[in-house]
Amino acid sequence: MTASFSMSAEQRAAELGLRIPDYTNPPYGGRYGAGLKAFHRTGDFVELSGITPETRDGEQVHPGAVGTEVSLAEAQDAARQTAINSLGLIRLAVGSLDAVAGLSRALCFVLCAPDFDRLNEVSNGATDLFLDVFGPEIGAVGRASIGATSLTRRNSFELWLSFEARPLT
Amino acid sequence: MTASFSMSAEQRAAELGLRIPDYTNPPYGGRYGAGLKAFHRTGDFVELSGITPETRDGEQVHPGAVGTEVSLAEAQDAARQTAINSLGLIRLAVGSLDAVAGLSRALCFVLCAPDFDRLNEVSNGATDLFLDVFGPEIGAVGRASIGATSLTRRNSFELWLSFEARPLT
Amino acid sequence: MTASFSMSAEQRAAELGLRIPDYTNPPYGGRYGAGLKAFHRTGDFVELSGITPETRDGEQVHPGAVGTEVSLAEAQDAARQTAINSLGLIRLAVGSLDAVAGLSRALCFVLCAPDFDRLNEVSNGATDLFLDVFGPEIGAVGRASIGATSLTRRNSFELWLSFEARPLT
């Protein structure tokens, strides 16, 4: 929140002290299936693979159903960690956070019980982080928040993100 | 249904008497989180933010689980209202309904009980409206209908739409 | 698995003995709603409509909730059949499996009970097939696996796939 928007996204991420995972070492994929890749770029449009609140070692941040097993605050923390992980995928896809021209859409899946209705507040944990890092011009994003019956390993959150990359020079 | 497909989409919307919300006044976003935007355009490909059956004042059309709290007919009405709302987002994104070259895909989330299996009929409430407004060439759309455990504020429907815009001149 | 990656995707599909449905005869769409289309291409980016484990006659492969009514092995079989169906949609969209430059993303919806947490293993049934047909360069794909409360006709799986086509010549 103290980060100035005159800084670049990489500078803001550094100032915020974010620990962004490196998806080159070990290489992305392999944990959940064969032949999965982190992203695909068609022209300047980039689609990222699904991202979860897990460390690169597979340690989970607050797994379980939001509203019963996981509190709103914990779910927001899981969503924020997921967004930080997505920054690592963005670096893998386009080399630097500063190569993002604009976020496009964030489809947010929340593992939750049927009577939990504050899904948007969970997703804010992810999209507020984007705003802090990219600023309001690049970091604003379209969004939907969808309650899932289950997610792999009962993660509480999963992010499905697309963005526009700066043109290759 | 009486609209002729020789008319433009804006003309058909007028003939159908649709009351399409204006997302410029008040500006889109802010109700559910900071830094949300209505759309992103990459080249001619446009992704819209998630859209729900709510008025611009936040009044909900038939919230609750379809099959238990909400009837099929009510859910179809909610889906139709959501599609009408999306027309307002399309105008915001590209200026006019006539600037749509073709709808691409509609991912339809339906808040429903596990034994409700007529999700496609709910989604028809949205995609039939697109057909009425845009005609069969531009208004046909890819689609999937997915049962959600919950949605924000327990809305019964949420639409995740992408489309191709006419090239900027 | 015995298919060599020096062959083209069409050759591998033939060697694997896949029976890929023809979506031109009868024409795609109409079963679930009016005005549905199989795909939309914007530039070289192609979005496919939702695909399910059903034959062209509407016969379902292993419908029901995974983990209770449907076993993991049956769900993987349904996912594999869905992926085979998507090959038919790809042919419809771009003429040949060999016109795919790269798969982009596979959003996999799994109808399942809340305590089922091996969704990724279900989705492997689909994405392993892509790897077998397209090889690791073109067939690797971004992915997420989402538990759905219900799907139309209680199908156990639904695939939402995007890909990059080779440029039109």
Tell whether the model's pLDDT for residue A57 goes beyond 70.
yes
Tell whether the model's pLDDT for residue A8 goes beyond 70.
yes
Burial degree of A47 (CB within 10 A; 0-12, 13-18, 19+): buried
C-beta atoms surrounding C157 within 10 Å: 33
Higher pLDDT, A34 or B62: B62
pLDDT, tens digit, for every residue of C113-157? 999 999 999 999 999 999 999 999 999 999 999 999 999 999 999
Per-residue model confidence (pLDDT) at position B1? 47
Domains of chain B, with CATH numbers? 9-165 (3.30.1330.40)
Tell whether the model's pLDDT for residue C66 goes beyond 70.
yes
Residue among A87, A60, A77, A156 at smallest CA distance from A124: A77
Per-residue model confidence (pLDDT) at position A5? 56
Per-residue model confidence (pLDDT) at position C34? 87
CB nearest A43 (choices: B29, B43, B149): B43
Shortest distance, CA C36 to any CA of chain B (angstroms)? 5
Instruction: Collect all residues from B whose CB is shorter than 8 A from any CB in C.
Output: 43-45, 102-105, 107, 110, 112-121, 123-124, 127-128, 130-131, 136, 139-149, 162, 164
Shortest distance, CA C65 to any CA of chain A (angstroms)? 11
Query: Average model confidence (pLDDT) for chain C?
Result: 95
ipTM computed for the complex: 0.95
Q: Would you call A40 and C130 a contact, using CB atoms and an 8 Å cutoff?
A: no
Per-residue model confidence (pLDDT) at position C6? 77
CB nearest A114 (choices: B47, B49, B150): B150
Q: Would you call C162 and A47 a contact, using CB atoms and an 8 Å cutoff?
A: yes
Amino acid of residue A29: G
d(CA A27, CA A37): 10
Q: What's the whole-number mean pLDDT along residues A100-127?
A: 98
| Strand ranges (E), A64-116 | 100-111
Q: Would you call C150 and B120 a contact, using CB atoms and an 8 Å cutoff?
A: no
- Chains with ≥3 CB–CB distances under 8 Å to C: A, B
Tell whether the model's pLDDT for residue A129 goes beyond 60.
yes
Per-residue model confidence (pLDDT) at position A29? 80
Query: Average model confidence (pLDDT) for chain A?
Result: 95
Q: Would you call B45 and C49 a contact, using CB atoms and an 8 Å cutoff?
A: no
Confidence of residue A4 (pLDDT cuts 50, 70, 90): low
Whole-prediction pTM value? 0.96
Per-residue model confidence (pLDDT) at position C5? 56
* Bridge partner residues of C109 (DSSP): C146, C158
- Chains with ≥3 CB–CB distances under 8 Å to A: B, C
Q: Would you call B34 and A127 a contact, using CB atoms and an 8 Å cutoff?
A: yes
- Chain A residues with beta carbon closer than 8 angstroms to that of B86: none
Shortest distance, CA B26 to any CA of chain C (angstroms)? 31
Per-residue model confidence (pLDDT) at position B123? 98
Confidence of residue C1 (pLDDT cuts 50, 70, 90): very low
CB nearest B39 (choices: A115, A124, A142): A142
Please report the DSSP string for chain C in residue order. ----TTS-HHHHHHHTT-----TBTTBS--SS-TTB-SEEEETTEEEEPPB-SB-TT--BSS-S-BTTTB-HHHHHHHHHHHHHHHHHHHHHHHSSGGGEEEEEEEEEEEEB-TT---HHHHHHHHHHHHHHHHHHHHH-BEEEEEEES-BGGG-SEEEEEEEEEPPP-
Per-residue model confidence (pLDDT) at position C50? 98
Q: What is the mean pLDDT of each run of 10 residues along chain B (169 residues)?
A: 71 98 88 91 98 95 98 98 98 98 98 97 98 97 98 98 95
Residue of A nearest to C143 (CA): A49
Which of C41, C46, C68, C105 to probe by mutation at the A interface, max A CB count within 10 Å? C105
Phi, psi values for residue C126, rounded to 5°: -85, -50
Tell whether the model's pLDDT for residue C9 goes beyond 80.
yes
- Asked if A47 contacts A94 with a C-beta cutoff of 8 angstroms, the reply is no
Q: If DSSP codes are grouped into helix, strand and coil, which group holds residue B157?
A: strand
- Chains with ≥3 CB–CB distances under 8 Å to B: A, C
Instruction: Collect all residues from A whose CB is shorter than 8 A from any CB in B.
Output: 43-45, 102-105, 107, 110, 112-121, 123-124, 127-128, 130-131, 136, 139-149, 162, 164
